[in-house]
Amino acid sequence: MQGGRILVVDDEGPQREILRTILSAEGYSVETASGGGEAVRRCQEKPFDLVLTDLRMPGTDGLALVERLMRDDPPTLVILTTAYGSLDSAEQALKKGAFDYLTKPLEREELLLTVKRAFERIQLSRENRSLRQQVEERFRIEGIVGSHFRMQEVFEKIRKVSNSNSTVLLIGESGTGKELIARTVHRQSLRKDCPFIAVNCAAIPESLLESEIFGHERGAFTGAVDRRAGCFELASGGTIFLDEVAEMQLPIQAKFLRVLQGETFRRVGGKQEIDVDVRVIAATNRDPVEAVKDGILREDLFYRLNVVSIVIPPLRERSTDIPQLVEYFITKHSESTGKPIGGISNGAMRLLLNYHWPGNVRQLEAVVERAILLSEGPEIKHYDLPIEVRFFDLPAQPVASSAPGGKFAIEIPEHGIQFESLERDLIVQAMERSDWVITKAARLLGMSYRTLQYRLEKFQIKRDTKTAPTTPESGLTEQPSQQKGGM
């Protein structure tokens, strides 16, 4: 890297000048500092690619300088120069992140070779950061994560439609991120500085939905004591997002269609036509074609909404995105909860990959957030995951095993499983098999002692004190008090 910026740090002036002369002759841009404190200030004023520093200096020494520069983002590469008597400190600096060290007296060729290798590392790091940035731009749009080819199709459509005023229909199961995509389309559009108003058509009673969308005049119905602006007026100039649009009653669908066609509407109880300049993004968790056939969704409204449709795949059909999503949610919720979780165990990841995710990405995020809160270590373990994930896809026939760590005998009824009931039964089985010793039962269940103790209290599981003695380790029953007599 010709022209690479190097800061030479040494408390001995002649040594600084020798290093400056050698490195400048090779085409590097070299500046100097007489100590660690000055070096920190210089690095704060402008970035250097590489710092070449003496290890032993008064004040802020080379080791402290390494620790400080490793906190930068990206960290500054450091090469140390040291006498033979300080090799232990140099090794310590390497552990803290220094690139390499050279022993004094310095050999010119060794110096230049080490500096060359450092700049090769710098170049590689920059290329990797650039590549990661390109990957993130391609595989992530404002919180929407996925490298699966079907998500790539979603990202491509988002990019294409965002700057238009066309109506967009989002089709996908609950929890796939339809509102997040709608907000992304709005933020990337020319309307981004105007309101984004979201309406969940399935969550508002039929009697109130029309008023919610179009507003009402005073006295339009019982309780309408004042004029009220509806969502179309509130979203003026911006975007209105109608979630679960197929849940609208057919008469309201007809009025909504007139707004889309004529760009005017009336408030409930009003006579005045109000012009509207709003982009509409609608969403449904139904197959819209089937909804039309079933008479739930008006055919003419479907065609008017379906100018551009974006089909969002369920998570079970893009399970290869789960590791990427988990990493994203761990980072997000570790910061928000203040728990420094660094990752997830292979066993826990296998369970997440094996689960069918009926609640899609929303459910996955909730599971990861819960696991972070319950985790007692630096990474998420399988026992931090909820019972429905850990015991998903159990065999239909009972599997009996008396060996430690073996499967428990579970018989799945035709009507399905209540997971809390299943969890309680499994805990009771484990406690009975372990003679009610919590440590042994926790090992069978793959839980920590504290987690099992919490669940025992949660389900109020206690040993029958009339038929079984209590072991000191179980902690489930109290020892009878012993009255001590006097002398």
Give tens-digit pLDDT for 56-81.
888 778 888 888 887 776 778 899 88
DSSP strands (E only) in 304-367: 308-311, 343-344
Q: How far are the Cα atoms of 39, 56, 118, 122 from residue 90, in angstroms, in the given order?
A: 19, 10, 17, 21
Question: Are 148 and 278 part of one and the same domain?
Answer: yes
pLDDT at 324 over 80: yes
Task: Give the residue with greater pLDDT, 150 vs 72.
Answer: 150
Question: Are 382 and 442 part of one and the same domain?
Answer: no
Distance in angstroms (rounded) separating the CA atoms of residues 51 and 55:
12
The identity of residue 15, as a single letter, is: Q
CATH number of the domain at 125, please. Answer: 3.40.50.2300
pLDDT at 471 over 50: no
Burial class (CB in 10 A: 0-12, 13-18, 19+), 196: buried
Q: Return the closest-CA partner of residue 209 out of 235, 230, 186, 182.
A: 230
Q: What pLDDT is recorded for position 472?
A: 35
Question: Are 320 and 308 part of one and the same domain?
Answer: no
| Structural domain that includes position 10 | 5-134
Bond into 74 cis (ω within 30):
yes
Where a domain ends, among 313, 328, 352? 313
Q: What pLDDT is recorded for position 467?
A: 35
Report the chain's mean pLDDT, rounded to a whole number. Answer: 81
Q: In the structure, what pLDDT confidence band is assigned to residue 244 with cuts at 50, 70 and 90?
A: very high
Q: What pLDDT is recorded for position 420?
A: 65
Question: Are 410 and 301 part of one and the same domain?
Answer: no
Three-class secondary structure of residue 226 per DSSP = coil
Question: Are 346 and 459 part of one and the same domain?
Answer: no
Task: Give the residue with greater pLDDT, 413 vs 390.
Answer: 390
pLDDT at 466 over 70: no
Q: What pLDDT is recorded for position 173?
A: 94
Judged by phi (left if over 0) then psi (alpha if -120 to 50, else beta), residue 438 lies in alpha
Q: In the structure, what pLDDT confidence band is assigned to residue 265 with cuts at 50, 70 and 90?
A: confident
Distance in angstroms (rounded) separating the CA atoms of residues 50 and 126:
14
Give tens-digit pLDDT for 113-146.
999 999 988 887 777 666 555 545 554 566 688 8
pLDDT at 477 over 50: no
pLDDT at 465 over 60: no
Three-class secondary structure of residue 170 per DSSP = strand
Question: Are 58 and 73 part of one and the same domain?
Answer: yes
Question: Could you tell me if 317 and 153 are in contact, meaning their C-beta atoms sit under 8 angstroms apart?
Answer: no
Q: Return the closest-CA partner of residue 255 out of 199, 306, 213.
A: 213
Q: What is the mean pLDDT of residues 351-366?
A: 92
Q: What is the mean pLDDT of residues 379-395?
A: 81
Give tens-digit pLDDT for 401-447.
333 344 444 444 444 445 566 778 788 888 888 888 888 888 777 67
Question: Are 99 and 179 part of one and the same domain?
Answer: no
Question: Are 330 and 373 part of one and the same domain?
Answer: yes
Judged by phi (left if over 0) then psi (alpha if -120 to 50, else beta), residue 360 lies in left
Question: Are 193 and 331 part of one and the same domain?
Answer: no
Instruction: Please enumerate, as own/partner, the contacts of 338-342 that have beta carbons within 8 Å and a separation of 24 or more.
Output: 339/372, 339/373, 339/375, 340/378, 341/372, 341/375, 341/378, 341/379, 341/380, 342/378, 342/379
Question: Are 245 and 172 part of one and the same domain?
Answer: yes
Q: What is the mean pLDDT of residues 383-389?
A: 89
Question: Could you tell me if 333 and 370 are in contact, meaning their C-beta atoms sit under 8 angstroms apart?
Answer: no
Least confident window among 85-99, 152-166, 171-185:
85-99
Q: What pLDDT is recorded for position 414?
A: 47
Distance in angstroms (rounded) separating the CA atoms of residues 310 and 298:
19
Distance in angstroms (rounded) separating the CA atoms of residues 153 and 158:
9
Structural domains in the chain (count): 4
Where a domain ends, among 313, 336, 360? 313
Q: Return the closest-CA partner of residue 174 out of 238, 246, 123, 120.
A: 246
DSSP label at residue 72: S
